[in-house]
């Protein structure tokens, strides 16, 4: 039950992020939305690492760490591209 609660929260975060990504135009909102989707997936992975009495599963934890680095990298590149567009169009 607890797992469903935490994992379900991850699924809902994913859905909220997806909605915001599709509905809002500005780059910053889209990027935040993508990161929320990512957090949702990471949340789910952390939730399923926990199995009752047993010690938590380190594999999903490691996957999440890898995923975070990838998300940071992609966000940084997207922000730099957005910044470049803003500079070129005179700060629109």
Residues of this chain that bind another protein (CB under 8 A): 3-4, 7-8, 11-12, 14-15, 17-19, 21-23, 27, 30-31, 34, 37-38, 40-41, 44-45, 48-49, 51-52, 54-63, 65-70, 72-74, 76-85, 87-89
> What are the φ/ψ torsions at residue 48 (nearest 5 degrees)?
-80, -10
Q: What's the closest the beta carbon of residue 87 comes to another protein, in angstroms?
A: 8
Q: Is 66 exposed, middle or buried (0-12, 13-18, 19+ CB in 10 A)?
A: exposed
Q: What's the closest the beta carbon of residue 14 comes to another protein, in angstroms?
A: 6
């Amino acid at each position: 039950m607890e797992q469903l609660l935490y994992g379900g929260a991850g699924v809902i975060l994913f859905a909220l992020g997806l909605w915001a990504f599709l509905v809002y135009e500005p780059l910053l909102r889209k990027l935040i939305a993508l990161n929320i989707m990512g957090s949702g997936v990471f949340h789910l992975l952390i939730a399923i690492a926990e199995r009752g009495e047993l010690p938590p599963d380190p594999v999903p934890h490691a996957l999440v760490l890898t995923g975070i680095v990838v998300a940071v990298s992609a966000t940084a590149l997207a922000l730099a591209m957005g910044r470049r567009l803003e500079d070129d169009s005179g700060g629109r």
